[in-house]
A and B are shown apart, each in its own frame.
Chain A
């Protein structure tokens, strides 16, 4: 089998046995990129020279017997995670020339682990979108159907793994931006507990919701990546100082004794019948494998999308204020007065969706509206968190669809923000509560599009989620299917 198709753990074994080199893997991935990237457009920036240099360093390290599980493995990094000396655009015109002088915590950890950086992955501008269509650099296409979106906002990260243009990748998830594209692209995507992975160097969209996480071809690779990126970072006040377990220890092919809660609200209006049938069948499979099923309710999740579209834009309106043309990034030419420079820079530098959200957020925080919008939304957010706490008193994990439909067509929803926002109806509550959530492939639609099952856990219970997902994966073969490119 071609190296680019393989998983990180399999490649790691071969590397450590000396049967292959990281240079060979990297070359294989780069050849694959040459073949398919023109059709997929998963990357904003490719790093061919850096990757080979890192591969050689990894090979030297492996020869010296100092290899870690991800040493020599080609990875893609979403383009809002800072990489020192490498352009980090956030998919936006306003940062299209921005080169950070510092690494994000996760970048730094990946470097120390010996990973090879293939490139910076495409994304919705500032992670605002569910289709990767709002990228200033043009959309990414779904490897399963080039007419369709790969999901978003981490569409490039998801498509690069699904199209075998890298072995593993990093994305970020604010309202579903890892899980929904993972579902659309038929791979695994994991958003850890808020605070588990440091946000230092992750360019903020909505600070209280953003979380970095992995995309992988299977659950073991997901655990390997989690092991590298998790842990306390003193430079991030919201990162949590708790010991990090070895997540490969929770790869147990057994769900006996675990109770899976099925939220009543998760199969409501707007769900595609094929998605519902596939997800219900996956839950039955887990039941057959020994899990108990419990009926639970998340009554306030009906308000989650509304709450999210107040809190996330409010935070974004403030987080994106620093892009003013003064210090870095794009500055509009031909302006002579401060206010004019601000207006032109931001008018030309941001795309329509980003502007829409800055305006929504500015409005929600304005004098006279704060109580009705931001404060009320914060209160409902607390209630949504309580719903989960009550649910987890009755079950170990929650299982539900990741997205209400399989990948939709490019252009289908881009002019209808409300329809677009509803793509995240099943993923948003988890972010509002700061919980960990994973999506993995659980079947395909009649037209061959992947469908994802979402597993949510209580705070810092990543291990239970991995165990459920691993058991399902060991007993099914959806994860082995590859798109035909």
Chain B
């Protein structure tokens, strides 16, 4: 039988506020263990949480950018469970009344657009980190680092609207880009500031009711999310095909082995006993506050893409790529400041620049070629200083050394030869060298022309102005 996978994703995104969600400790990553702690975030007796309103504002940005409704009244709840990295014995989260609900994002899949629902977005605090030392002389010890405790998170729960691992990846990419465009999350998946759990079930194609789902955890990259979902689809398909039942459980993705495996039952058999946190008052959001946050929302990927198409006349595909991250879009527009031919800039970025970055696994922020340098190089082509062909080598040098195009061209002697007499000499030499081919051309075998262009360029080490080479060759061959 053919099955349709049904996928829903839960994303935890760390908010980029300066201080923690319920105290004024710094959220800075790294630092000595427990350097950024206080009585509140270490759960000392008698300490009380006070909500950082910046976190509410950031969450509202995320909600507005994903077309969500913002609740005028929302509540914090306690999620109770014991673990040493959870100093109060409960996590403060939102449960019955989250800050936002009913949003969506649109993704581009298989040439079409698809809307993926967001059920809710809520605020919560992160837990701490356990450090295990197995080498100690007195036997193994575990330590707790509370620096991360109380770092603000938002949880974004999607509707079960995705049906392929590719759709899931597209949704995650779009969501991450939106949060980064909003300047509320750094999107770093390896450090865990953007992490994702997936719920997945199968059902016979055409059936409406949902099958039994499993929850997948421990996937720290887009690729791993896709791989884990792929694996889980195969695993569940095989089970159903042989007449077995799917067990509802949490499964951990093992990237090294490429498999998911069930967590032990005890670890997940939690009754969290949620109830409203009596230490915090309700979050009341007045319409004026929403309006103020809305007014300062930056341009989002979708709007930017449309503007690029409209304003710069570039194809939709180019615009989609260039707006996939905010720094990349900024880079593109900075280039245009110095060189106003949008499609040419787009071509260079999408082919040369992104290829180099991808090879080195670098982000656009780490690009050694400043946008202004790329613009300057493109100008040199227009001015006839360098040929388009040489330009590719110039660019590689720029990327390698960080130097400016003009400098490289001078150093390497790559300035284009536009002196007609010098080119004429080269043409004459080549024609003298290949009389037979010249004869063939004159008899009508036009293909040979390309051969002569190549030979002349070779003789001038690629520096000859191709247009002049064309003109002079034609003149000599026919004249």
- Whether B78 contacts A318 by the Cβ 8 Å rule is yes
- A43 at the binding interface (Cβ < 8 Å): no
Is chain A's interface secondary structure helix, strand, loop, or mixed overall?
loop
- B88 at the binding interface (Cβ < 8 Å): yes
Nearest A residue to B78 via CB reads A318
- A379 at the binding interface (Cβ < 8 Å): no
Among A235, A326, A327, contact of B48 (Cβ-Cβ < 8 Å): A235
- Whether B275 contacts A327 by the Cβ 8 Å rule is no
For the complex, give the distance between the alpha carbons of A236 and B22 in Å: 11
- Given the interface contacts A326-B84, A342-B82, A365-B275, does A234 sit within 8 Å of B50 by beta carbon? yes
- Whether A328 contacts B46 by the Cβ 8 Å rule is no
- B370 at the binding interface (Cβ < 8 Å): no
- Whether B87 contacts A203 by the Cβ 8 Å rule is no
Q: Mark B302-335, 1 if CB is under 8 A from A, else 0.
A: 0000000000000000000000000000000000
- Whether B48 contacts A318 by the Cβ 8 Å rule is no
Q: Give the bracket for the number of chain A residues in contact with chain B.
A: 35 or more
- Given the interface contacts A318-B78, A318-B273, A321-B89, does A237 sit within 8 Å of B84 by beta carbon? no
Nearest B residue to A338 via CB reads B84
Which chain B residues numbered 41 to 66 have a C-beta less than 8 Å away from chain A?
Answer: 42-51
- Whether A100 contacts B45 by the Cβ 8 Å rule is yes
- Whether A315 contacts B89 by the Cβ 8 Å rule is no
- Whether A98 contacts B84 by the Cβ 8 Å rule is no
List of A residues within 8 angstroms of B278 by Cβ: 206-208, 238, 315
- B252 at the binding interface (Cβ < 8 Å): no
- Whether B279 contacts A207 by the Cβ 8 Å rule is yes
List of B residues within 8 angstroms of A88 by Cβ: 45-46
**Best-buried of A90, A95, A236, A237 by chain B (most CB within 10 Å):** A237
- Given the interface contacts A207-B278, A237-B280, A324-B89, does A202 sit within 8 Å of B271 by beta carbon? no
Among A80, A200, A342, A366, contact of B47 (Cβ-Cβ < 8 Å): A200
- B240 at the binding interface (Cβ < 8 Å): no
Among A104, A314, A342, contact of B46 (Cβ-Cβ < 8 Å): A104
- Whether A238 contacts B279 by the Cβ 8 Å rule is yes
List of A residues within 8 angstroms of B50 by Cβ: 234-237
**Best-buried of B42, B44, B274 by chain A (most CB within 10 Å):** B44
Nearest B residue to A201 via CB reads B46
- Whether A237 contacts B80 by the Cβ 8 Å rule is no
- B231 at the binding interface (Cβ < 8 Å): no
- A333 at the binding interface (Cβ < 8 Å): no
- B300 at the binding interface (Cβ < 8 Å): no
For the complex, give the distance between the alpha carbons of A113 and B465 in Å: 89
- Whether B281 contacts A321 by the Cβ 8 Å rule is no
For the complex, give the distance between the alpha carbons of A234 and B49 in Å: 10
A residues adjacent to B (C-beta < 8 A):
80-82, 88, 90, 95, 98, 100-102, 104, 199-204, 206-208, 234-238, 314-315, 317-318, 320-322, 324, 326-328, 338, 342, 362, 365-367, 370, 374
B residues adjacent to A (C-beta < 8 A):
39, 42-51, 78, 80, 82, 84, 87-90, 144, 271, 273-275, 278-281
Since A327-B42, A327-B144 are in contact, a sample of 16 more A-B pairs with Cβ atoms closer than 8 Å, ordered by chain A residue number, is: A80-B46, A88-B45, A199-B46, A201-B46, A201-B47, A204-B45, A204-B46, A236-B50, A237-B48, A238-B48, A238-B280, A322-B43, A322-B88, A327-B87, A362-B273, A365-B274
